[in-house]
Chain A
Amino acid sequence: MISEILQTLPQVLVDGLALGAVYAVVAIGYTMVYGILEFINFAHGEIFMTGAFAGTAALLTLKSAGLLGAMPGWLAYLLAFVIAMLLTGILGIGIERVAYRPLRKAPKLISFISAVGISFLLQDIVRFIADLKTGNFIVTGITLYDSNLKVAASSLWSVFGDAFIKTNTIIVLAAAVVLMIGLDLFVNRTKWGVAMRAVAQDRDTASLMSINVNKVIALTFFIGSALGGGTGVLFAQQYGTIDPYIGFTLGMKAFTAAVLGGIGNIRGAMFGGILIGLIEMLASTNLGILTGGSFGAEYKDVMSFLILIVVLIFKPEGLFGKAIKEKV
């Protein structure tokens, strides 16, 4: 049993890291919005999904215009990535303006309900467009990089089996790292970053310090949504097929990651994402082996939801967050 687990370990780590990177970048979107508004942007998973569709649509349009063959793969990739990010970023601002800002003073229950509504709306609008354009809402895009690298992990230790890394996995990891470092620098080193942190700490005082709170919130939504949408493109490239309902489960897992890392804490979200990705991959590969086939990979989603509930109940401030005492 142990040898079986060890043998697949290199491959599991590779797959888990790729998945975890996706979760991590999406989790940042949740955590940023929560940090500033103390509000769970339930529609964030759907923004990720919209990004995946936007990127795929961009590539398909390039192809039908005959431009795809003419340009190098990386350029097409970058183009899809940027288009998706811009589009979802603007979408995020729009959603905030229309559905959240009027409710900023309303009870939290009401704004959460509005977010759930937005999430359904997005699912169906994307479903509708995809269905209309392609005849089916499950869309298979164009995979730009689908070559494989073999990692000879067996030469390190003979117990390990070899692992295969897709070129795209490396792109996903690299992109995630660049995005995360960039964001970290932006939040900690720039003037806008300072403004953001100020608004997160105390909205009213920040506005007294001549910070335009609405602008900062819009910017936060732009960045968070753009990160989600960009990750959507990475996801579509990694797995090839997308549908309008991928956002929900993935969003829930990313949210779990954000909670696990301490919601409101950007570095915590990155760490939480990677951790959830690895746990999920380990569980889905090894549950069947460990339980002799009684419980298998089909329980991996249960695992994620369980982690979410357990963390929320027993350590709601997460691994890196600070516990906040409620003041009366």
Chain B
Amino acid sequence: MKKWKKGLGAVMVTVLGASLLAGCGSSGKNSSAASGSEGAGGDLTVIKIASQSPLSGSSSAYGESIKLGGQMALEERKDEFKKLGFDLQFVPYDDQGDSKKGVANAELIGADKSVMAVLGHFNSGVSIPSSVVYEKYSIPMVSPGSTATDLTDRKLKSVNRVVARDDFQGPAGAEYAVKTVGAKNIFIIQDQTAYGKGIADSFQNAAKELGANIVGYEGITVGEKDFSGVLNQVLSKKPDFIYFGVLYNEGGLIVKQAREKGIDVPIMGGDGIDSSGMVDVAGDKLTNVAYSSVATDIIKSNKEWADKYHQKFGKNPENYAVYSYDAMNVILNALTKAIDANGGKVPAREKVRDAIRTTTDYQGIATKVSFDDKGDNKYAKVFIYKYDGPQYPGSMISEVEPK
């Protein structure tokens, strides 16, 4: 029946195409795109895993590493699925770090019945609205990078993440700032995104509790190049510590311009500045900058994996690549479980979703994974690093275990 439908449809399309040659010169490519992707599998049933991450824009370095990490894990297990009778495909989407684009993509992903799970997103501001769409279509998502508390606090069934939350990362940073460095007067800068504001606020609360004084709290706009205004305020408030919740493009420029203005107090940020982009932008002005990260330094902790990655893609893995790799494996494990439970046939999305949530004690390359009832990883750790010169990654200072 199904085959007959497809066949007739194809015939109709061809007839139409022929009779209206003039009209569809450019769109002709499309139909071959659609049928091409279906025909590639042969007799195998197609299962797609989508990824959504910023492949362009200011956080593209992270997005690319998330895509590549996921791709690597998926390609390693392609044969395993072929034996089960499935053609496993990877469909990377570009959310551009833009929530609107993310939601639009999520609608497309939801409408495509062969997509079983989503790997992503990176930006919390994109994850949160998109997850509503995933919930609607019961597609599970596993994020290797979104840290905002709101993402899992809404207790959606389909949302999971393998990394630590902001309200764990923020306090860990505050503890470092107040106890280790001995900061008393802290100036806070944030980029007014879900991520930047979230982490800056949780840092602020924790730092206040530890007895530090917050002398200023300023917002900046993503994409700006001149931060003199905010930094002049810093000059007038004379803090002994600066904390910023920003991504590396703005972060690098703030560090650079601050040092040029003679502000040489220690600066600290969250995992948003855990990127080699920081070195490119700030150059040799990158001194005395600490950051908390949810990612371990994979090149040191698992050289073998990092080499494999380098061999495959020709570049060193940024820190999120390995989390993306683990997240993809979590998804694929759950998928095989759901396939088994369904007698070797394509499982319902709901089953995959529930199977992902019940993941326990999976030992990945970077982290151990067990989801709690909200979808947070019980084993997610936070690491404190410090840049002391233009070298990525910075040197690790401490490792904070979950409480």
Q: Which residues of B contact A140 (CB under 8 A)?
A: 252, 280-281
Q: How far is the CB of A42 from chain B (nearest CB, A)?
A: 20
CA distance A12 to B60 in the complex (A): 33
CA distance A285 to B231 in the complex (A): 8
Which residue of A11, A131, A239, A285 contacts B225 across the interface (Cβ within 8 Å)? A239
Question: Once the chains bind, are A297 and B225 in contact (CB under 8 Å)?
Answer: no
- Residues of chain A from 112 to 140 with CB closer than 8 A to chain B in the complex: 131, 136-138, 140
* A166 contacts the other chain (CB 8 A): yes
* B221 contacts the other chain (CB 8 A): yes
**Chain B residue nearest in CB terms to A287:** B229
**Chain B residue nearest in CB terms to A127:** B56
Question: Once the chains bind, are B261 and A164 in contact (CB under 8 Å)?
Answer: yes
Residue among A138, A280, A293 facing the most chain B CB atoms (10 A cut-off): A138
* B342 contacts the other chain (CB 8 A): no
Which residue of B226, B229, B262 contacts A164 across the interface (Cβ within 8 Å)? B262
CA distance A280 to B230 in the complex (A): 12
CA distance A300 to B232 in the complex (A): 14
* B400 contacts the other chain (CB 8 A): no
Binds A, one of B82-90, B98-106, B212-220: B212-220
Binds B, one of A179-187, A225-233, A242-250: A242-250
Which residue of B219, B223, B253, B280 contacts A239 across the interface (Cβ within 8 Å)? B253
Q: Which residues of A contact B218 (CB under 8 A)?
A: 288, 296-298
* B180 contacts the other chain (CB 8 A): no
Residue among B58, B235, B237 facing the most chain A CB atoms (10 A cut-off): B235
CA distance A15 to B221 in the complex (A): 18
- Residues of chain A from 29 to 52 with CB closer than 8 A to chain B in the complex: none
Question: Once the chains bind, are B230 and A7 in contact (CB under 8 Å)?
Answer: no
Which residue of A137, A148, A240, A281 contacts B228 across the interface (Cβ within 8 Å)? A281
CA distance A137 to B59 in the complex (A): 11
**Chain A residue nearest in CB terms to B60:** A136
Question: Once the chains bind, are A15 and B232 in contact (CB under 8 Å)?
Answer: yes
Q: Which residues of B contact A143 (CB under 8 A)?
A: 283
* B184 contacts the other chain (CB 8 A): no
**Chain A residue nearest in CB terms to B248:** A138
Question: Once the chains bind, are B253 and A240 in contact (CB under 8 Å)?
Answer: yes
* B357 contacts the other chain (CB 8 A): no
Question: Once the chains bind, are A138 and B58 in contact (CB under 8 Å)?
Answer: yes
Question: Once the chains bind, are A137 and B56 in contact (CB under 8 Å)?
Answer: yes
CA distance A162 to B238 in the complex (A): 13
Q: Which residues of A contact B285 (CB under 8 A)?
A: 146
Q: Which residues of A contact B236 (CB under 8 A)?
A: 4-5, 7-8, 161, 285, 289
Q: How far is the CB of B96 from chain A (nearest CB, A)?
A: 11
Question: Once the chains bind, are A11 and B235 in contact (CB under 8 Å)?
Answer: yes
* A25 contacts the other chain (CB 8 A): no
CA distance A289 to B216 in the complex (A): 9
- Residues of chain B from 198 to 242 with CB closer than 8 A to chain A in the complex: 216-221, 223, 225-226, 228-230, 232-233, 235-237
* A19 contacts the other chain (CB 8 A): yes
Question: Once the chains bind, are B261 and A296 in contact (CB under 8 Å)?
Answer: no
Q: Which residues of B contact A4 (CB under 8 A)?
A: 236-237
- Residues of chain A from 285 to 328 with CB closer than 8 A to chain B in the complex: 285, 288-289, 293, 296-298, 300-301
Which residue of A5, A148, A243, A281 contacts B229 across the interface (Cβ within 8 Å)? A281
Which residue of A8, A138, A296 contacts B232 across the interface (Cβ within 8 Å)? A8
Q: How far is the CB of B389 from chain A (nearest CB, A)?
A: 15
Q: Which residues of A contact B223 (CB under 8 A)?
A: 243, 245
Residue among B218, B236, B256, B283 facing the most chain A CB atoms (10 A cut-off): B236
Q: Which residues of B contact A289 (CB under 8 A)?
A: 233, 236
CA distance A229 to B254 in the complex (A): 25
Q: How large is the interface on B (under 10, 10 to 19, 20 to 34, 35 or more residues)?
A: 35 or more
CA distance A22 to B56 in the complex (A): 28
The SS class assigned to the B binding surface is helix
Q: How far is the CB of B66 from chain A (nearest CB, A)?
A: 15
Q: Which residues of A contact B237 (CB under 8 A)?
A: 4
Known: A8-B235, A161-B236. A300 touches B261 (CB 8 A): no
* B127 contacts the other chain (CB 8 A): no
Q: Which residues of B contact A281 (CB under 8 A)?
A: 228-229, 232
Question: Once the chains bind, are A239 and B235 in contact (CB under 8 Å)?
Answer: no
* B249 contacts the other chain (CB 8 A): yes
CA distance A281 to B226 in the complex (A): 10
Q: Which residues of A contact B232 (CB under 8 A)?
A: 8, 11-12, 15, 281, 284-285
* B260 contacts the other chain (CB 8 A): yes
Which residue of A11, A19, A242, A245 contacts B261 across the interface (Cβ within 8 Å)? A11
Residue among A150, A284, A289 facing the most chain B CB atoms (10 A cut-off): A284
Which residue of A7, A241, A296 contacts B252 across the interface (Cβ within 8 Å)? A241
Q: Which residues of A contact B226 (CB under 8 A)?
A: 15, 19, 239
Q: Which residues of A contact B228 (CB under 8 A)?
A: 11-12, 15, 19, 281, 284-285
CA distance A87 to B280 in the complex (A): 27
Question: Once the chains bind, are A162 and B262 in contact (CB under 8 Å)?
Answer: yes
Which residue of B60, B216, B230, B262 contacts A284 across the interface (Cβ within 8 Å)? B230
* B336 contacts the other chain (CB 8 A): no
CA distance A210 to B56 in the complex (A): 53
CA distance A141 to B105 in the complex (A): 33
Question: Once the chains bind, are B219 and A296 in contact (CB under 8 Å)?
Answer: yes
Question: Once the chains bind, are A166 and B260 in contact (CB under 8 Å)?
Answer: yes
Q: Which residues of B contact A5 (CB under 8 A)?
A: 236
CA distance A293 to B233 in the complex (A): 11
Q: How far is the CB of A155 from chain B (nearest CB, A)?
A: 16
**Chain A residue nearest in CB terms to B261:** A164
Known: A7-B236, A11-B261. A138 touches B230 (CB 8 A): no
**Chain A residue nearest in CB terms to B189:** A297
* B61 contacts the other chain (CB 8 A): yes
User: Can you list 18 A-B pairs, Cβ within 8 angstroms, ordered by A?
Assistant: A11-B261, A15-B228, A138-B58, A140-B280, A148-B260, A161-B235, A235-B225, A239-B225, A239-B226, A239-B253, A241-B281, A242-B225, A243-B223, A288-B216, A298-B218, A298-B220, A298-B221, A301-B221
In the A-B complex, list the 8 residue pairs whose CB atoms are closest, starting with the nearest: A284-B229, A15-B228, A285-B232, A239-B225, A297-B229, A4-B236, A298-B219, A8-B236
Known: A240-B256, A297-B218. 11 other contacts (CB 8 A): A4-B237, A7-B236, A8-B232, A11-B235, A166-B260, A239-B257, A246-B225, A284-B232, A288-B233, A289-B236, A297-B233
List A residues at the B interface (Cβ < 8 Å).
Answer: 4-5, 7-8, 11-12, 15, 19, 131, 136-138, 140, 143, 146, 148, 150, 161-162, 164, 166, 235, 239-243, 245-246, 280-281, 283-285, 288-289, 293, 296-298, 300-301
